[in-house]
Amino acid sequence: MTLFDVVFSGNDTVYGLTEGAIDAAIEKHGADKAIAFPDTAYSLPCYYAVTGTKVATLGQLKEALGVVKTLMTREQKLNDAFMSGIATALCAEFIEVLKYIDGAAPYEAPCYGHLADAVIRELGVPLVTGDIPGVAVILGAAPTAQEGVDLVKSYQSQGILVTLVGGIIDQCEELGYKTGANVRVIPLGKDVTSVIHVVSVAVRAALIFGNIQPGDAAGLMKYTMERVPAFVNAFAPLDPVIVACGAGAIALGFPVITNEDTFKVPKSLIVQPDVSKFNATSLEARDIKIKITNIDIPVAFASAFEGEIIRRGDMQVEFDGSRVDCCELVMTKDASEIEDHKITLVGPDIDEMPVGSKQSICYVVEVAGKSMQSDFEPVFERKFHSYLNCVEGMMHTGQRDMIRIRVSKETFEAGFRAKHIGEVLYAKVKSEFAAVVDKCQVTIYTDSAECTRVRHEVAMPLFDKRDERLNTLTDEGVDVYYSCIMCQAFSPSHVCVVTPERLGLCGAVSWLDAKATNELDPQGPCQVITKERPIDERIGEYEDVNEAVQKFSQGALEDVSLYSIIEKPMTSCGCFECICGIEPLSNGVCIANREYAGMTPIGMTFSELASMTGGGVQTPGFMGHGKHFIASKKFMKAEGGVARIVWMPKELKEQVAERLNATAKELYGIDNFCDMIADETIAEDPETLLAYLEEKGHPALTMEPMM
């Protein structure tokens, strides 16, 4: 048999199974029975992306299978093998969608099955920043459970997103290895067909971020090959079905590494008999580079641990700024005042603290450098959250003096002590901000009297001063804005214009962040945009801004306004925190945040609203934006401002209430504006919404018609 014959035979097997399953389902439920994956706006994403057709019923699924059959040509040629690989993947998607009939939840912990659109949008920023340098798909069972877990751990400690299919899942369970989306090890399912759920992620990334048009199969394969850094590790024994799936992976540009002595295809099907070398072989095959920062701590440090949760019972000690005096602080000093890499502890160490107790902590990071500016202090400080979370067995929430940190018993037992917090902060600040920081020292206070002093006498006055500075940071008050093109790795024509009152839509890049990024890397993703030649102040349009977006979008975008959702609105890449859309009946807009899974009065969920825009294309009436932008005086200023907001999920409303109420008071003299805004507990349809707004006298009702 040739490799082609193996692929064809695997493809035929899966096709036969799929046909049988669809026929049985039609017999049982009827051809009109609805089918869908949960929480996606892309129907059967793989089939939709390849053919441009959405499938909504069993009858349509049967027709779709006929289309799949046309891909299954049988010449002994590479293209035939690739297309049969794709056909196999599509069949797997059909088999999987059948599992979700009648709103069933076919996957049980630890397996995830289908992943929601929101998960893919969340991956946008870490993928572009390189925090997630790649995506590994591990299939089957390793020769021993230990080798399997070691492989998973090796990827995890490099920040690579790991997905598991089949026997490897049992091997992780057997050794008690923690899995879950929060630690970036995602067991998909035990059947080989569940591998489609990671393919579906890659395919939707192309639709969401890449502006790939459904039906453009060639464009899709080019996109995944060039921009999705995924690869497959398939353990022996390989059967023809796995080989056929592998052909599909290769067609998308994902190399397959296996320990089975089988056919070899240069750069695509690679035999590596030694499982301990899978990691190195895979990274080389996919050309993935890992950023390494050497940090002198006794536990692992990787972005995969960012979402790790430490329960009360597992914690050695907790530092809790809501109960006792805590703070984290960056201060600029003169070089002569700093001894580089000096780490000082003032107060008791962790081993002197009762197990499970609440303690105070303040850590002050002092930096010096010729190009250091005090404006960068909060930029560094905001990164501490992510740095400390990356420590295995450490959890950090909050910022400034409202921080909470937990250290797990395991991490303590591995030897982690207070000074290691200093080591982490030192190493990260020195490596990430090398361009502006020449010297850095860290002082950690755990003595409670000292913590009270540092918090109240040093930190609070400084925070107050910074807040004053932030309040004076208005779009009018600065001379330049910044571009951000970080997301072009996935959205080739998307440009964010970042201003003091409008942060990047991902929520992670403020004007100060962009300024710092520009300072650190003058040729990097954030460039200065002047604003000397206004065209229309009302919508916030400038000749210089237009020239900049034309240049940075390589001509894809002509002109952009900063303050309008209707006229030349800013584009979206896809990783926005919120999406805002016009609700015609109430003459206002509804906003949904990514975490919100329910319905909006527009008649669409977050995923559906989000699918209306993205890929760097302008879509009047829809706007992706950061949470912080909601309370900005520039939010839809051209259409009348925040008074247009008629609906938000309750949780989001609570998050923004204080600032939004203040803005509404200042702009319109309205008290407690958030009380006029409906949420899902009040209305999920336009009529109920309207009745509520009328009852509250919401200002949008009397504003000029939006459309």
Q: Is 199 exposed, middle or buried (0-12, 13-18, 19+ CB in 10 A)?
A: buried
**Nearer residue to Ni ion within complex by CB, 504 or 540:** 504
* Candidates 38-46, 378-386, 422-430, 482-490; binding stretch for ligand SF4 (CB under 6 A): 482-490
**295 is an interface residue for ligand SF4 by CB under 6 A:** no
Q: Residue 304: name its binding partner from Ni ion, ligand SF4, none (Cβ under 5 to 8 Å by kind).
A: none
* Candidates 85-93, 167-175, 341-349, 505-513; binding stretch for ligand SF4 (CB under 6 A): 505-513
Q: Residue 186: name its binding partner from Ni ion, ligand SF4, none (Cβ under 5 to 8 Å by kind).
A: none
Residue from 172, 228, 243, 487 binding Ni ion (CB under 5 A) = 487
Q: Which DSSP string corresponds to 97-166?
A: HHHTGGG-----TT---S--HHHHHHHHHHHHHTSS--EEEEES--SSHHHHHHHHHHHHTTT-EEEEET
Q: Residue 325: name its binding partner from Ni ion, ligand SF4, none (Cβ under 5 to 8 Å by kind).
A: Ni ion
Assign 3-class secondary structure to 376-417.
HHHHHHHHHHHHHHCECCEEEECCCCCCEEEEEHHHHHCCCC
Strand order in the sheet with 256-258: 185-189, 161-165, 135-139, 230-234, 256-258, 269-271
**498 is an interface residue for Ni ion by CB under 5 A:** no
**304 is an interface residue for ligand SF4 by CB under 6 A:** no
Q: Residue 120: name its binding partner from ligand SF4, Ni ion, none (Cβ under 5 to 8 Å by kind).
A: none
* Candidates 362-370, 430-438, 481-489, 641-649; binding stretch for ligand SF4 (CB under 6 A): 481-489
* Minimal distance, residue 319 CB to Ni ion, in Å: 14
**Nearer residue to ligand SF4 within complex by CB, 188 or 526:** 526
**549 is an interface residue for ligand SF4 by CB under 6 A:** no
Q: Of 354, 348, 358, nearest to 319 (Cα)?
A: 358
* Minimal distance, residue 509 CB to ligand SF4, in Å: 4
Query: What part of residues 573-632 is at the interface with ligand SF4 (CB under 6 A)?
Result: 573, 575
**Nearer residue to ligand SF4 within complex by CB, 391 or 509:** 509
* Minimal distance, residue 622 CB to ligand SF4, in Å: 15
Q: Residue 484: name its binding partner from Ni ion, ligand SF4, none (Cβ under 5 to 8 Å by kind).
A: ligand SF4
Contacts of 105 (CB under 8 A, 6+ apart): none
Angle ∠(252,139,227) on CA atoms, nearest 5:
30
* Minimal distance, residue 495 CB to ligand SF4, in Å: 7
Q: Regarding beta strands 394-397 and 404-408, do their DSSP bridges make them parallel or antiparallel, or are they unpaired?
A: antiparallel
- The one-character DSSP state at 180 is B
**506 is an interface residue for ligand SF4 by CB under 6 A:** yes
**Cα 559 versus chain centre, distance:** 28
**520 is an interface residue for ligand SF4 by CB under 6 A:** no
**b/e sequence 148-183, b meaning 16+ C-beta within 10 Å:** bbbbbbbbbbbbbbbbbbbbbbebbeeeebebeeeb
**577 is an interface residue for Ni ion by CB under 5 A:** no
What is the C-alpha to C-alpha distance for residues 15 and 95, in angstroms, rounded to an integer? Answer: 10
What is the C-alpha to C-alpha distance for residues 270 and 46, in angstroms, rounded to an integer? Answer: 25
Q: Residue 508: name its binding partner from Ni ion, ligand SF4, none (Cβ under 5 to 8 Å by kind).
A: ligand SF4
* Pattern 117-136, Ni ion, x by CB under 5 A: -------x------------
- The one-character DSSP state at 599 is B
Q: How many CA atoms does the CB half-sphere of 254 hold within 13 Å?
A: 27
* Minimal distance, residue 156 CB to ligand SF4, in Å: 24
Give the interface size with Ni ion as a residue count (CB under 5 A). 5
Q: Residue 68: name its binding partner from Ni ion, ligand SF4, none (Cβ under 5 to 8 Å by kind).
A: none
**Nearer residue to Ni ion within complex by CB, 449 or 691:** 449
Strand order in the sheet with 588-593: 622-625, 578-583, 588-593, 645-647
* Candidates 134-142, 566-574, 629-637, 674-682; binding stretch for Ni ion (CB under 5 A): 566-574
**496 is an interface residue for ligand SF4 by CB under 6 A:** yes
Q: Is 682 exposed, middle or buried (0-12, 13-18, 19+ CB in 10 A)?
A: middle
Return the structure tokens found at 286. Answer: 């996919």
**508 is an interface residue for ligand SF4 by CB under 6 A:** yes
Query: What part of residues 378-437 is at the interface with ligand SF4 (CB under 6 A)?
Result: none
Return the structure tokens found at 372. Answer: 């250091």
**509 is an interface residue for ligand SF4 by CB under 6 A:** yes
**Nearer residue to Ni ion within complex by CB, 25 or 575:** 575
Residue 542 amino acid letter:
Y
Q: What is the rounded radius of gyration, in angstroms, for the C-alpha atoms of the chain?
A: 27
Q: Cβ distance 317 to 355 under 8 Å?
A: yes
Return the structure tokens found at 247. Answer: 């052909």
**556 is an interface residue for ligand SF4 by CB under 6 A:** no
Residue from 295, 484, 623, 646 binding ligand SF4 (CB under 6 A) = 484
**486 is an interface residue for ligand SF4 by CB under 6 A:** yes
* Pattern 311-340, Ni ion, x by CB under 5 A: --------------x---------------
**Cα 74 versus chain centre, distance:** 40
* Candidates 161-169, 400-408, 486-494, 555-563; binding stretch for Ni ion (CB under 5 A): 486-494
Q: Cβ distance 655 to 646 under 8 Å?
A: no
**548 is an interface residue for ligand SF4 by CB under 6 A:** no
What is the C-alpha to C-alpha distance for residues 244 and 123, in angstroms, rounded to an integer? Answer: 28
**487 is an interface residue for ligand SF4 by CB under 6 A:** yes
**250 is an interface residue for ligand SF4 by CB under 6 A:** no
Return the structure tokens found at 48. Answer: 């939709």
* Minimal distance, residue 329 CB to Ni ion, in Å: 15
Q: Residue 14: name its binding partner from ligand SF4, Ni ion, none (Cβ under 5 to 8 Å by kind).
A: none
**573 is an interface residue for Ni ion by CB under 5 A:** yes
Q: Residue 509: name its binding partner from Ni ion, ligand SF4, none (Cβ under 5 to 8 Å by kind).
A: ligand SF4
What is the C-alpha to C-alpha distance for residues 660 and 111, in angstroms, rounded to an integer? Answer: 40
**Nearer residue to ligand SF4 within complex by CB, 332 or 571:** 571
What is the C-alpha to C-alpha distance for residues 567 and 21, in angstroms, rounded to an integer? Answer: 49
Q: Residue 205: name its binding partner from ligand SF4, Ni ion, none (Cβ under 5 to 8 Å by kind).
A: none
**575 is an interface residue for Ni ion by CB under 5 A:** yes
* Minimal distance, residue 503 CB to ligand SF4, in Å: 7
What is the C-alpha to C-alpha distance for residues 205 and 574, in angstroms, rounded to an integer? Answer: 9
What is the C-alpha to C-alpha distance for residues 286 and 228, in angstroms, rounded to an integer? Answer: 10
* Candidates 113-121, 463-471, 502-510, 652-660; binding stretch for ligand SF4 (CB under 6 A): 502-510
* Candidates 377-385, 395-403, 569-577, 683-691; binding stretch for Ni ion (CB under 5 A): 569-577
Query: What part of residues 77-96 is at the interface with Ni ion (CB under 5 A)?
Result: none
* Candidates 39-47, 99-107, 235-243, 497-505; binding stretch for ligand SF4 (CB under 6 A): 497-505
Count CB-CB contacts under 10 A for residue 476.
9
What is the C-alpha to C-alpha distance for residues 571 and 625, in angstroms, rounded to an integer? Answer: 10
Q: Residue 422: name its binding partner from Ni ion, ligand SF4, none (Cβ under 5 to 8 Å by kind).
A: none
Residue 587 zone, left/alpha/beta (φ > 0; ψ -120 to 50; rest) = left
Q: What are the residues binding ligand SF4 (CB under 6 A)?
A: 125, 484-487, 496, 498, 504-506, 508-509, 573, 575
Q: What are the residues binding Ni ion (CB under 5 A)?
A: 124, 325, 487, 573, 575
